[in-house]
């Protein structure tokens, strides 16, 4: 016969080994990413001395400064990832949401980069000058295998996190964790009583996960764009806007405007602001139409090719560098951008009702 558990009975959370493993992996990812980013910063800072000793072509100061700023930005994100991993181990619900957004962002970026790289390298396989077909095939095969392994590993982890942390049992463990209460049997030995789950509290309205991932992507890419504008580069890429070409100061102004609006829209969507949703939808539609007009224009390739050539001239000539200002690469990049823009528009339209419902609930809370 069991006696009632005393008020000071020992309690413990439900054991979820997969959640613990995910938290540890998140911490490892954050630590390795932060260390790698900081080592890259040190290498870039020492690069001028190494270039002098090896008599290599120097990296332009603007490119080096922009690379250092980007690596420091990446290191800060990785440090935040460490805190997310610790929060997962401590069963904090904000950490569960954070790791879901991280997983979606990581999976999307890795799979997109993998698809883009495979398509581009497959199309450009016969365009490497100074090499025979057999050597070119071996280089491309090695490149594809390396990219597949490099991007598939974090993408697989991202898919694992998405599946794990969207399970009802795991979500409940973060919002209303089950506890095992130790009672005493007639012999005086502890005996676990059936676990119970406290009544879950009504969660606060939040941005749907797909749109949260999209918002984080907007903020990240826009910050990278603004970093690009802060530093002088050896060549400026032109901006095409409905048949008009902008370069130099006007190019930077337009890019700063679009980047700033994307950051505002990204944070606004995370805060469940309907105006931010419609602003980003309008910007994506504008980008899609402008992209279609641009890619059909016969005069876009020469100025883009010239900008790429000026950029590549800052480094030692190599057969591979010529690929990046070929017409195939430039058109392939634009087509890939159009596909991504169309996919983002479809995502916004598909998630529109869920977002507006959450926004209305947040406004009435």
Band of pLDDT at residue 7, cut at 50, 70 and 90: very low
| Greater pLDDT, 174 or 265 | 265
Percent of the chain residues topping a pLDDT of 70: 65
Band of pLDDT at residue 183, cut at 50, 70 and 90: very low
d(CA 1, CA 188): 11
DSSP state of 5: P
CA distances from 342 to 284, 345, 348 (A): 8, 5, 10
d(CA 352, CA 284): 14
pLDDT, tens only, 259-292: 889 999 999 999 999 999 999 999 999 988 888 8
Inform me whether the pLDDT recorded for 234 exceeds 50: yes
What would the DSSP string read from start to end of 293-347?
HHHT-TTSHHHHHHHHHHHHTTS---TTGGGGGSHHHHHHHHHHHHHHHHHHHHH
Q: Please count the other Cβ atoms lying within 10 Å of the Cβ belonging to residue 161.
A: 22
> 213-240 burial by CB neighbour count: b if 16+ within 10 A, else e?
bbbbbbbbebbebbbbbebebbebbbbb
Give pLDDT, residue 248. Answer: 64
d(CA 81, CA 87): 10
Inform me whether the pLDDT recorded for 181 exceeds 50: no
| Greater pLDDT, 92 or 48 | 92
The residues that bridge with 192 in the sheet, in sequence order, are 182
Give pLDDT, residue 11. Answer: 46
Q: Are 192 and 181 in contact (CB under 8 A)?
A: yes
Q: Is 239 helix (H, G, I), strand (E, B) or coil?
A: strand
d(CA 274, CA 268): 8
d(CA 365, CA 302): 55
Structure tokens at 25: 């992996």
What would the DSSP string read from start to end of 153-218?
HHHHHHHHHHHHHTSHHHHHHHHS--EEEEEE-TTS-EEEPPPB-PPPPPPPP---HHHHHHHHHH
Please provide the average confidence, as pLDDT, over all residues in the chain: 76
pLDDT, tens only, 35-87: 988 888 888 777 665 555 555 555 666 667 777 777 888 888 889 889 999 99
Q: Is 245 helix (H, G, I), strand (E, B) or coil?
A: strand
d(CA 26, CA 161): 10
Q: What is the pTM of this model?
A: 0.70
Structure tokens at 44: 């870039």
Inform me whether the pLDDT recorded for 193 exceeds 70: no
CA dihedral (295, 300, 306, 307) positive or negative: negative
pLDDT, tens only, 120-158: 666 655 555 555 666 666 777 777 788 888 888 889 999
């Amino acid at each position: 016969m069991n006696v009632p558990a005393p008020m000071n009975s020992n309690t413990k959370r439900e054991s979820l080994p997969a959640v613990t493993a995910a938290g540890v992996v998140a911490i490892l990812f954050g630590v390795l990413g932060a260390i790698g980013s900081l080592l890259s910063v040190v290498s870039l800072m020492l690069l001028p001395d190494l270039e002098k000793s090896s008599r290599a072509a120097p990296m332009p100061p603007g490119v080096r400064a922009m690379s250092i700023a980007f690596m420091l930005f990446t290191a800060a994100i990785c440090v935040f990832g460490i805190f997310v991993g610790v929060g997962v181990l401590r069963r904090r619900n904000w950490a569960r949401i954070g790791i879901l957004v991280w997983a979606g962002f990581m999976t999307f970026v890795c799979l997109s980069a993998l698809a883009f790289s495979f398509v581009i390298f497959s199309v450009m396989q016969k365009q490497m000058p100074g090499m025979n077909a057999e050597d070119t095939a071996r280089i491309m095969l090695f490149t594809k295998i390396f990219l597949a392994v490099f991007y598939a590993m974090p993408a697989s982890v991202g898919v694992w996190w998405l599946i794990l942390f969207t399970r009802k049992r795991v979500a409940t463990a973060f919002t209303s964790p089950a506890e095992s209460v130790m009672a005493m049997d007639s012999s005086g030995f502890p005996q676990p009583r059936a676990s119970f789950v406290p009544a879950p509290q009504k969660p606060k309205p939040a941005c749907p996960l797909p749109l949260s991932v999209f918002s984080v992507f907007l903020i990240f890419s826009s910050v990278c764009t603004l970093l690009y504008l802060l530093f002088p580069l050896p060549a400026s890429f032109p901006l095409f806007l409905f048949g008009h070409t902008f370069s130099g100061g006007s190019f930077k102004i337009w890019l700063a405007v679009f980047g700033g609006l994307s950051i505002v829209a990204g944070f606004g969507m995370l805060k469940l602001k309907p105006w931010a949703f419609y602003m980003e939808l309008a910007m994506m539609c504008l980008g899609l139409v402008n992209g279609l007009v641009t890619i059909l224009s016969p005069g876009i390739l020469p100025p883009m090719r010239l900008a790429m050539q000026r950029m590549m001239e800052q480094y030692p000539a190599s057969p591979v560098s010529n690929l990046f200002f070929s017409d195939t690469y430039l058109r392939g990049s634009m087509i890939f951008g159009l596909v991504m823009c169309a996919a983002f528009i479809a995502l916004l339209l598909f998630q529109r009702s869920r977002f507006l419902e959450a926004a209305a609930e947040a406004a009435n809370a």
